[in-house]
């Protein structure tokens, strides 16, 4: 008897897994600007998170370059509990892919939006583990350059995984300009928005913005455009509010640490993530 179900459906109406090389794509987990992320299995039933670049245009060299750069960087830095695990990457049937460990998790932005108790109950550990992840990335010789709540995954037992290394670059010996000025404006440091030379301390600024947002529910420098955000970064009298005025439960030492991350001049921020990690741990009595 022949089924009337479409080719991608079984007789019961369930969508069939799609074979992709040695993998079976079971479920679409997320869809980003240039890639889709699938829950995938292999022939042994092992589960993976598989990120596949969309074939939007054969001439879109920038997307391909960024995707492959993210794969290469992750392959070099993934040996850390707070960084997503790398399995492999390559090209199958003309499609570039990255295979990673699969974790059941939501990102920090999603957790905050739904007021998830895992965030409220573990915010201190999340702040520390996120800092440890960034420290590891920089110790391996890279800048993340897109650190923000969307790129920090948190599992139900509050394990952290830093993801998305498409914009990562080698850490320079001294500040240097970047032709493509990568990042998300709300989390970018003033020197990036001004298109001036920068170094790993822009990650420290981004960490400060993310920590402030996580603890207060708002970004420290509100703006609809990069120029508006920059104006408020440079003139703190416009509407900048110290975090403890928005959340009195924040320890004074932690506020001091966040404010140091958010300094306009890179020289006034933490020189290295290791020093920041030390102060965050001390502020949270770890």
Rg of the chain over Cα atoms, rounded to whole angstroms, equals: 21
**Rounded distance between C-alpha atoms, residue 13 and residue 98, angstroms:** 29
Give the distance, in angstroms, between the CA of residue 251 and the centroid of all CA atoms in the same chain.
Answer: 25
Residues 111, 116, 120, 125, Cα dihedral to 10° = -50
Helix 273-283 vs helix 252-261: crossing angle, to nearest 10 = 160
Quickly list DSSP for 205-223: HHHHHHHHHHHHSS-SS--
In our burial notation (b when 16+ CB lie closer than 10 A, e otherwise), range 182-208 reads bbbbbbbbbbbbeeeebbbbbbbbbbb
Structure tokens that stand for 18 in this block: 């799609």
What burial class does residue 237 get, using C-beta atoms within 10 Å of its C-beta: 0-12 exposed, 13-18 middle, 19+ buried? Answer: exposed
Q: What are phi and psi of 87, to 5 degrees?
A: -110, -50
Q: Catalytic residue, from 146, 164, 166, 203: name it.
A: 146
Q: Identify the helix (H) or strand (E) that includes residue 29.
A: strand 23-31
The edge-to-edge listing of strands for the beta sheet with 152-155 is: 105-107, 152-155, 160-162
User: Active-site residue 146, yes or no?
Assistant: yes
The Cα–Cα gap between 39 and 24 comes to 9
Q: How far apart are CA 255 and CA 283, in angstroms?
A: 9
User: Which residue numbers are catalytic?
Assistant: 146
């Amino acid at each position: 008897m022949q089924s009337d179900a479409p080719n991608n459906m079984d007789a019961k109406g369930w969508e069939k897994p799609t074979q992709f090389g040695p993998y079976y794509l079971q479920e679409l987990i997320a869809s980003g600007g240039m890639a889709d992320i699938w829950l995938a299995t292999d022939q042994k039933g092992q589960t993976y998170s598989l990120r596949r670049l969309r074939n939007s245009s054969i001439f879109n060299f920038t997307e391909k370059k960024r995707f492959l750069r993210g794969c290469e960087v992750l392959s070099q830095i993934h040996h850390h509990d707070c960084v997503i695990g790398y399995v492999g990457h390559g090209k199958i049937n003309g499609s570039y892919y990255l295979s990673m460990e699969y974790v059941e998790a939501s990102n920090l932005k999603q957790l905050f939006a739904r007021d998830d108790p895992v965030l409220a109950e573990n915010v201190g550990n999340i702040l520390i583990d996120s800092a440890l992840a960034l420290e590891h990335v920089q110790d391996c010789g890279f800048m993340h350059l897109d650190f923000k709540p969307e790129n920090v995954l948190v599992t139900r037992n509050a394990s952290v995984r830093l993801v998305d290394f498409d914009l990562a670059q080698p850490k320079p010996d001294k500040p240097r300009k970047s032709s493509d000025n990568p990042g998300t404006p709300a989390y970018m440091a003033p020197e990036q928005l001004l298109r001036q030379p920068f170094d790993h301390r822009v990650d420290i600024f981004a960490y400060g913005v993310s920590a402030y947002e996580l603890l207060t529910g708002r970004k420290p420098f509100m703006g609809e455009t990069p120029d508006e955000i920059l104006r408020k970064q440079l003139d703190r009298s416009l509407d900048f509010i110290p975090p403890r005025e928005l959340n009195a439960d924040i320890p004074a030492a932690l506020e001091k640490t966040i404010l140091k991350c958010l300094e306009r001049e890179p020289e006034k921020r933490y020189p290295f993530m290791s020093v920041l990690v030390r102060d965050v741990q001390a502020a949270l009595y770890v």
